[in-house]
Amino acid sequence: MCDEIFSEPNSNNSCFDKNATLIIKQDAIIHNVNYIKETTSSKIIAVVKENGYGLGVANLYNIIKDQDIFMYAVISPCEAIALREEGCDTDILMLTPISDFGELLSMVSHNVVIALGNQKQISELRYIYELTGKKPRVHIQIDSGMGRYGFNIDDLPEFKYYKDYLRIEGCFTHLAGSAKNYKKSVKKQVRIFRQALEKIRAAGVDPGVCHISNSKAALVFGALGFDAVRVGSAILGKVAVKSGLEEGVWLESNVFTVYNRQEGERIGYSGEASLKRDSSLAVVRIGTGCGVGLIQKGAMDLSFCSIVKNLINRINSVPVFNVWINGKKSPVIGRIGVSHMTVDVTENSVKEGDVVKIQVNPLLVHPYVKRTVI
């Protein structure tokens, strides 16, 4: 099942001993849902894709199920079925415009709302209606700039001809955004989306519940004048926008050992880090194998200034990653290994067994790492 998280090997050929726990703080997640609701004054579509952003779809659902969620959103039939098996009777939106007949039939039978984003789906959904007598529920998907899924505004089908066998209940698009001029990019996509809605209405079709804002847009712009916001990472407090969100998930491990090294000694793979002083170092048995240090970056900056800055940081052994031990930030030095990291605790009173708190993208955390809700 897609919402199961295995903390022990599940076959004779699997042997994982992850010295870490993914901590899920339910009070923070509930706070974040209510904060988004209050600041956007709109319906909440809770995105629980990718197994609840790595938390476990059942874990995340059971934390927020009593928070007046308008709709849940997923990207695979597996996730939708997992929600239904968990007892979810709230509407579920399949964000991916699936066109496989078997998958579509399964989603209709589980009363899942389907993203309608391509012509192939229409004939399959019509056949399902003729076969079952049940109108598939759909949200029309518009491509406003992501270039991935949805109908192009210049090639919209005549949706009025499909009303006899489809229940059109909503319309949405997925914001692509832009790192250089985010506000301008969003404004352009909103304009395209509104133009698409005008065409749909002019053809005699009610587009229903309209939604465009993802987590970042919801925190920066609210619902942008539409009916709902689709939020996932914001629920976890994992959006790089100043807000009143709380940290809802992090990784914990323990200090394995503490030792002393002298100024000038090199630490870690390839001796990348050089100690600038006599130092107290702590080893933590956690690394990339658990998802730590696997940072997803944007476009590579190859400008002269960026290259020089990175070179200077490398020469000076400037830390690029920090952890928290005893509530105090401590820098990781040297390259993070698959299963170990070295932390400079010279200015922190640390002993073996102390808890280490690590910020991490939960999507990257290994599935064998234990999940604990507190």
For residue 136 the two structure tokens come to 């598939």
- Shared domain for 303 and 365, answered yes or no, is yes
Reported pTM: 0.86
Query: What local confidence, expressed as pLDDT, does residue 9 receive?
Result: 44
Task: Please state the rounded mean pLDDT for residues 305-326.
Answer: 63
Query: What local confidence, expressed as pLDDT, does residue 5 receive?
Result: 44
- Shared domain for 207 and 91, answered yes or no, is yes
Q: Is residue 128 part of a domain?
A: yes
Q: Half-sphere exposure of 163 toward its Cβ, with a 13 Å CA cutoff?
A: 13
Task: Please state the rounded mean pLDDT for residues 252-264.
Answer: 94
Query: What local confidence, expressed as pLDDT, does residue 159 receive?
Result: 93
Q: Is residue 12 part of a domain?
A: no
- Shared domain for 206 and 335, answered yes or no, is no
- Shared domain for 106 and 200, answered yes or no, is yes
- Shared domain for 260 and 206, answered yes or no, is no
Query: What local confidence, expressed as pLDDT, does residue 17 receive?
Result: 79
Q: How far is it, in rounded angstroms, from Cα 246 to Cα 236?
A: 8
Query: What local confidence, expressed as pLDDT, does residue 295 receive?
Result: 62
Q: Is residue 19 part of a domain?
A: no
pLDDT band at 296 (very low <50, low <70, confident <90, very high): very low
User: Which of 204, 231, 258 is the last residue in one of the domains?
Assistant: 231
Q: Is residue 105 part of a domain?
A: yes
For residue 19 the two structure tokens come to 């010295």
Q: Is residue 206 part of a domain?
A: yes
Of the chain, the percentage scoring pLDDT greater than 90 comes to 79
- Shared domain for 259 and 315, answered yes or no, is yes
Q: How far is it, in rounded angstroms, from Cα 165 to Cα 123?
A: 10
Q: Is residue 8 part of a domain?
A: no
Q: What is the CATH number of the domain that holds 74?
A: 3.20.20.10
Task: Judge whether residue 1 has pLDDT over 50.
Answer: no
- Shared domain for 185 and 309, answered yes or no, is no
Query: What local confidence, expressed as pLDDT, does residue 35 receive?
Result: 97
Q: Is residue 101 a contact partner of residue 124, using CB atoms and an 8 Å limit?
A: yes
- Shared domain for 254 and 162, answered yes or no, is no
For residue range 270-279, list pLDDT tens digits in order.
788 889 999 9
Question: Which residues constitute the domain of residue 106?
Answer: 26-231
For residue range 198-233, list pLDDT tens digits in order.
999 999 999 999 999 999 999 999 999 999 999 999
Q: Residues in the chain, how many?
A: 374
Q: Is residue 6 part of a domain?
A: no
Query: What local confidence, expressed as pLDDT, does residue 13 receive?
Result: 62
Task: Judge whether residue 36 has pLDDT over 50.
Answer: yes
pLDDT band at 18 (very low <50, low <70, confident <90, very high): confident
The residue among 42, 44, 41, 40 whose CA lies nearest residue 30 is 44
Q: What is the CATH number of the domain that holds 328?
A: 2.40.37.10
Average pLDDT, the chain: 89
- Shared domain for 294 and 355, answered yes or no, is yes
The residue among 43, 87, 51 whose CA lies nearest residue 231 is 43
Query: What local confidence, expressed as pLDDT, does residue 11 receive?
Result: 54
pLDDT band at 254 (very low <50, low <70, confident <90, very high): very high
- Shared domain for 151 and 72, answered yes or no, is yes
Query: What local confidence, expressed as pLDDT, does residue 302 receive?
Result: 46
For residue range 137-161, list pLDDT tens digits in order.
999 999 998 888 999 999 999 999 9
Q: Is residue 7 part of a domain?
A: no
User: Which of 231, 257, 275 is the last residue in one of the domains?
Assistant: 231
- Shared domain for 189 and 276, answered yes or no, is no
For residue range 155-207, list pLDDT tens digits in order.
999 999 999 999 999 999 999 876 678 899 999 999 999 999 999 999 999 99
User: Which of 200, 231, 262 is the last residue in one of the domains?
Assistant: 231
Query: What local confidence, expressed as pLDDT, does residue 180 receive?
Result: 77
Q: Which are the contacts of 99, defined by CB distance < 8 A and separation ≥ 6? A: 118, 120, 121, 124
Instruction: State how many domains the chain has.
Output: 2
- Shared domain for 270 and 202, answered yes or no, is no
For residue range 40-80, list pLDDT tens digits in order.
999 999 999 999 999 999 999 999 999 999 999 999 999 99
Query: What local confidence, expressed as pLDDT, does residue 6 receive?
Result: 41
